[in-house]
Amino acid sequence: MNIEEVILVNTYDEEIGTMEKMQAHEKALLHRAFSVFVINQKGGMLIHRRALEKYHSGGLWTNACCSHPRKGETTEEAVHRRLMEEMGFDCPVSERFSFIYKAELDQGLTEYEFDHVFFGSFDGTPRVNPDEVCDWKYISIKDLKQDIKTNPDNYTEWFKIALDKMDTNNILIKL
């Protein structure tokens, strides 16, 4: 089995080392991550439900793609790699903002991430990896926000935080 490492960073996103991914989540150490939001031409946001077997947050709805860059890989290179690995497509992306968050998750794990948020546009049908994704859909942002308000426990923590930050910064208006 391949041991996956994350890049540990300080609050300025400067690399300070690497650590095995599960260990970083058990110790709640700050590491670099990314979240990708994909919008189609009709204004629908592509969201997916994480595979039930994921190491945390299994079965929860989240943004199109999220993960961690590898040592020696730029964050944007990692975005394109993971879009293909998780969703079976790639698209042009641009980084819009970043933020740090810390959230206690299931399985005794904590996400403490310097999260780089990218946006892309895609109108096709994803070819999802069933090891990563058990369902997906395009949803209007209005309907999404209403469902999160009604059913917040159905969504990942980072997804809810990033959506709030988009509102604060008027990111969705600028798409």
Catalytic positions:
66, 113
Pairing of strands 31-39, 110-121: parallel
What 8-state DSSP symbol labels residue 64? S
What gap in Å lies between CA 1 and CA 143, rounded to an integer?
A: 40
User: What DSSP string runs through 90-112?
Assistant: ---EEEEEEEEEEEE-GGG-EEE
Tokens of 24: 């970083």
User: What DSSP string runs through 142-161?
Assistant: HHHHHHHHH-GGGB-HHHHH
